Chains A and B, each alone.
Chain A
Amino acid sequence: EAGVAQSPRYKIIEKRQSVAFWCNPISGHATLYWYQQILGQGPKLLIQFQNNGVVDDSQLPKDRFSAERLKGVDSTLKIQPAKLEDSAVYLCASSPLAGAPDTQYFGPGTRLTVL
């Protein structure tokens, strides 16, 4: 089966600009996650969707980050305006079962550099 797809793979922007990332999960997976991984750190969960509803966005900086999952399939994560500290890899993952995060399939990530 096809894996989790993410685009773009790399993005370089200047601070205060906006940027959007796209994720296409594995077909049929109900749960979708966005993680932020800063260099030298482990991934940190930003937001979790179950179908098209938000389950957990407690660590999402809502003043600048937003995310949506249209029709319970694809998802976009947006940053507006970007700050230097947003430089990181943004990982998308999906899970086939609702309420069972143990089996997550990760995409390759989008590496964001904010200058």
Chain B
Amino acid sequence: KQEVTQIPAALSVPEGENLVLNCSFTDSAIYNLQWFRQDPGKGLTSLLLIQSSQREQTSGRLNASLDKSSGRSTLYIAASQPGDSATYLCAVRTNYGQNFVFGPGTRLSVLP
């Protein structure tokens, strides 16, 4: 059974800092991995999708990497802004399941 964890649970940084969010999964037989953003009172928004054959994906100031062998993914946010404050969740889709298993999320606060 796939289990997904995220460290840290919460993070507070000053504006302008570069930061890394971590995601770990127990079963390396994954189909893909997706990073989502969740704002209070709102649903999830997809940020980046990494297929199992890829090592990383980039979108603007965001870069996500995937290391299947070690069961890890990282989300790198460059030059953080207060608008980046949200909860970031990673979700893993396994080869044997159609749907995602979500991690608990990292709550990020970027202070002006």
Contacts and interface: CB of A to CB of B under 8 A. Distances in A.
A56 B98 contact: yes
A107 B45 CA distance: 10
Interface string B88-103: 0101010000111111
Contact residue range for chain A? 20 to 34
A102 B49 contact: yes
Q: Is the interface of A mostly helix, strand, loop or mixed?
A: loop
A99 B98 contact: yes
Contact of B44 (A9, A44, A99, A106): A106
B61 interface: no
Nearest to B45: A106
A50 B26 CA distance: 29
A67 interface: no
B26 to A, nearest CB: 14
Interface in B20-56: 32, 34, 41-46, 49
Interface string A38-81: 00111111001000000110000000000000000000000000
Interface in B55-74: none
A42 B43 contact: no
B104 A42 contact: yes
Contacts of B44: 43, 91, 93, 104, 106
24 contacts: A33-B99, A40-B104, A41-B104, A42-B4, A42-B89, A42-B91, A42-B101, A42-B102, A42-B105, A43-B89, A56-B99, A93-B44, A101-B99, A101-B100, A102-B32, A103-B46, A104-B44, A106-B43, A106-B44, A106-B45, A107-B43, A108-B41, A108-B42, A109-B41
Interface of A: 4, 9, 33, 40-45, 48, 55-56, 91, 93, 99, 101-109
Interface of B: 4, 9, 32, 34, 41-46, 49, 89, 91, 93, 98-105
3 smallest beta-carbon distances between A and B, as pairs: A42-B102, A106-B43, A106-B44
Given A43-B102, A101-B99, A102-B49, 6 more contacts: A42-B103, A44-B102, A56-B98, A56-B99, A101-B93, A108-B42
